[in-house]
Structure 1
Amino acid sequence: MISYFRSILPSRLILLVLLYLAIRVPLILLGIPATVPELNFMLVGERMADGFAMYREIYDSTAPLSALVYWIIDVLAGRSYLTYRLVAAALLLAQALLLNATFTRNKVYPTSNYLPALLYLTLGCLTLEFEMLTPMLIGNTFVILSLPYFITLSREGLDNSRLFIGGFMLGLAALSFLPLALFLLMGLFAVIFFASAAFRSSLLMLCGFAFPYAMLLCYYLFTGTVGSFLELHLLRPWRFEVSFLIPATDLAKLLVLPALVLALSLFSMLSLSQRLVFQVKFQQLMVVWLIVSLMVILSRDEVSAASFLVLLPPIAYFSEYLFTSRLKAWILSLIYLTVLSGVVLLRYRQQLGISAIVKIDESRILLPTAPAQPVQGTSVLVLGNDITYYIQNKLATPYLNWRLAQRHFGQLNEYDAVFALYQNFKKEPPAYIVDKQGLMATLKYKLPTIFEAYEPTATPAVYKRRYR
C-alpha cells in the first residue's frame, strides 16, 4: 500500500482524497457532537454579526483573523456545527496538499511522492479536536503557506521580496493564533540557512510580519479599540504552564501513534546516507519547526489534543524517511496499516463498542446533548465559566470570557470597573443573569439602578429582569 503512494500520478492523489473522506464523512453522517470550544467560537461570530466590535464589545482572547472567519460563517450559516466541521476538513486537506506540493516542487526528497500528505491526513483524523475549526488550525494554514518563501532564496538568487511575503504569512498566522508568532524563530533560522545577507533579510522578514499588525492597529485606532486589543489579546501574559484540558493519561493514549511514527522516522533519518546540501539544510529547518511546535504547545493556557495539531507538518515531513527506508515493503505497509487502524479504532470507538476498553475522557470538551435549562430563547449572561446556558440563548453584554471579565467583576472596589459595568449593562441588559459566583448581592449594592431590576426565580442562582 505504501509503495502505491511513492508516485505523484493523479490516481494517487484521487485515492488519497478518497481515503481521507472515507474516514471523515461517516463521522459527520453519524452525528456531530457539540463541543465547548466550538460554541465559544460561534458566540464570537454571532456577536460580531450582530454588530458588536471584537475586544471593545466582546471580551474574549480569540485572535482577530480567526474571529473574522467565525463572523463570516455566522453570516452565511449561523450556528452550524456542520459548517464548522466541513470548513475544518477542507482546511486540513488543503494544508496536507500544500505541504506536499512544497516538498515536491522544491525537491526536498530524492524522489517525489504523496507519503507526507498521506500521513498528514491520516493523523489529522486522530481525534475529535482535530476536526474542530480552531484558531490553531486556521493559523497553521498560513505557517505552511509561508514555507516556500523561506526555502527558495538560495535557489532563486536575491529575490528578497519573497522574505517579506513569508513574514507577512507568519503575521497572518499570529493574527489567527497568537502563539504561532513563535514561528518567527523558524523564519530566522531559514534566513540563516538559505539567505545570503542574513541581517538585512531578517529585517525584511520582520517588516513583513509587522505589516498586517500595522494595518490592524490602524483600524483599531480609527475605531477606538487599540487599548482593548492590547489588553485582551496582544499583551496578555504568556504562561508556559501545563494545564491539561483532558486527563494526561488519556492524552497520552491519543499521542501514542504520532509519537511512534515520529520516533521511527527520526531513527530512519539518522540511519540514511548524506543527501544534497539543500536537502540537509531543509532537514535542519524541519528540526527547528519541530522544536518551535513544542514551544507553541507549552505556551497555551490549556493543553489538549488540539494543541498537537501544530506537530502534523514536521511529523509528515520526517515520515518520508521511515516509509522510504530500506525496510521490506510489507513491513512498511504493516506499520502504516497499524497507524491507520489505530486512528479508525480511536475515532470510531463508540460505534464499534470498544469505548469501555479505550477510554478517552472528553467530558470537559463536549457539551451536554440535552441540557436541562430553565432559560431558553432569550438573552443571558452567565457570571462564571459555564457557557452551556448559551446553547439555546444569546449572549448579552461583552462578558463572554469569564477570566477576562475579571477586569470588571474582579475589581468591584474600583470606580472605573463599576462604571464600565454600568455602561455595558445600561446599553445591553440581559433578560436573565445566571450567578455562578454569588455576586448578585454585591452588584445590587454597588449598582442598584441596574441590578435591583433582577429578581430570583424558582431556579437557584438564576435571576430574571423585571420589565417596568
Structure 2
Amino acid sequence: MTYPELKSILVGEKLNNGSKMYTEVVDNTAPLAAWVHTLLDMAFDRSITGRHVVALVLIFLQSVFLGIIFITKKVFGENTFIPSLIFSILFFFSFDNIALTDELLGSGFLILALDHLFREIEFRMPRDETPFNLGLFLSIATLFYLPYITFLFGVLIILFLFARTNGRKILLMIFGFTLPHLFVISISYVNDTLPKVWEYYYLSNLSFDKEFVVSIKELLILGGLPAFYLIISIVMLNRLARFSKYQAQLLQSIFLWIGFCFIYFLFCKEVRPQTLIVLIPPITFLLTHFLLLIRRRRLAEMNHGYL
C-alpha cells in the first residue's frame, strides 16, 4: 500500500462514517476525488486489489480513447492504435501508477479536454459547445486535482495562437470552467463551510510548498528511458518529418502542452511518479510520429531497392 492509497482509504472511511469534508476531515483532497473515494470505500472497503482493478480499467479506457481521438482528428498520416499501446506501456514506468490516485481520476478529463482542443484547432467544427465543453472538462479535472488548473492557461494560449477563436468562444470556455466551481462554492456557502473549502482546497493546493515523496534523482531514473526516446523523437521529427499545416499546428500545440506540464509541477503539493502522468499523452503523440516516420522510411527504402 502506497501513501496516496492509504490517504484515499482513510478519507473514504471518514466520509462514510458521517464526517464532513474540510470541516471534520481536514485534508486538501478535491471534492470529486473525495466523493469517488467514498464510493470506493462502500464498494471495496480496504481492498487494494479492487482499487487496482478499477485503476487498470481507467488506464485501459484512457489509452483506447486517446487512440480514437488521434484517429478521428487525423493527427497522423494513417489510422493506427499504436498510440494506445505506447500510452499503456508508458503508464507503467512505475508500479505505483496502478494506484487509483486523484491524478489518475482527473487525467481522463484532461484527455477529453485535449479532444475538444483538437476540434477547435481543426476548424471543421465551428460550434459553440466545443469551447464550452473544453472549459467544462478542464474544470472537472481540477475538481479531482486542482493543480490541473495550469492547463487552462495553456489552452488559452494555444487557442490564441492556433485556432480561430473569438472573444465570445473564450468567454464560453471560461464560463464552462467556472460553472462547476461556482456550484461547489454555492453548496459550501449554503452549508456554511466556504471558509474551510477555500482554505483547505483552493489555497492549500495552489501553494508552492512541496513534499518529495520520491526524490528528484529517483524520478529522473524512472523517467530516463521515456525522456531519451522523447529527445530522439523531437530530433528526428525536426529533421525528417513533413507535416500538413494542421498537423504542424497540433505538433506545436503539444510542445506548448509539455511546457505547461512543467509549470504544473510547480503547483503539485506532493512530488511522486503519479505527478508525471500528464506527460504521457504528449510523449505518446511524439513517439507515435517517430515510429510511423521510421516505418514509412523503411518501406520507402524497401520499395526503392525492389525497383
TM-score norm. by structure 2 comes to: 0.91
Equivalent position SS for 1:235: helix
Distance in 1, matches of 2:206 and 2:178, equals 19
Percent identity, aligned pairs only? 28
2:89 aligns to what?
122
Q: Unaligned regions of 5+ residues in structure 2, if any?
A: 300-307
Alignment of 1:266-285 (within 5 A): 266-285=234-253
| Coordinate RMSD, CA, aligned | 1.9
Alignment of 1:206-285 (within 5 A): 206-236=174-204, 238-240=206-208, 243-285=211-253
Is 1:60 aligned with 2:1? no
Is 1:143 aligned with 2:123? no
Greater helix proportion: 2
CA distances 1:30-66 after superposition (whole Å, capped 9, x unpaired): xxxx122211110101111112111121100011111
CA distances 1:69-105 after superposition (whole Å, capped 9, x unpaired): 1011111121111121111111111111111111100
**Structure-2 change in CA distance of 1:255 and 1:65 (3 Å):** same
2:78 aligns to what?
111
Q: Partner letter of residue 88 of structure 1?
A: A
Q: Partner letter of residue 257 of structure 1?
A: L
Alignment of 1:46-445 (within 5 A): 46-153=13-120, 154-236=122-204, 238-240=206-208, 243-326=211-294
The structural deviation recorded for 1:242 is 6.1
Distance in 2, matches of 1:129 and 1:294, equals 21
The structural deviation recorded for 1:260 is 1.3
Distance in 1, matches of 2:214 and 2:204, equals 24
Distance in 2, matches of 1:268 and 1:198, equals 35
Q: Per chain length, whose mean CA-contact separation is higher, i.e. which structure has more relative contact order (CA < 8 Å, sep 6+)?
A: 2
Contact 1:170/1:184 (CA < 8 Å) preserved in 2?
yes
Identify which of 44, 50, 68 aligns with 2:11.
Answer: 44
Contact 1:195/1:201 (CA < 8 Å) preserved in 2?
no
Distance in 2, matches of 1:157 and 1:90, equals 31
**Structure-2 change in CA distance of 1:119 and 1:162 (3 Å):** same
The structural deviation recorded for 1:194 is 4.9
**Structure-2 change in CA distance of 1:119 and 1:105 (3 Å):** same
Q: Partner letter of residue 253 of structure 1?
A: I
Equivalent position SS for 2:286: helix
TM-score norm. by structure 1 comes to: 0.61
Q: Give aligned pairs, total.
A: 297
Q: Unaligned regions of 5+ residues in structure 1, if any?
A: 1-33, 331-468
Contact 1:63/1:233 (CA < 8 Å) preserved in 2?
yes
Q: Partner letter of residue 156 of structure 1?
A: R
Contact 1:167/1:187 (CA < 8 Å) preserved in 2?
no
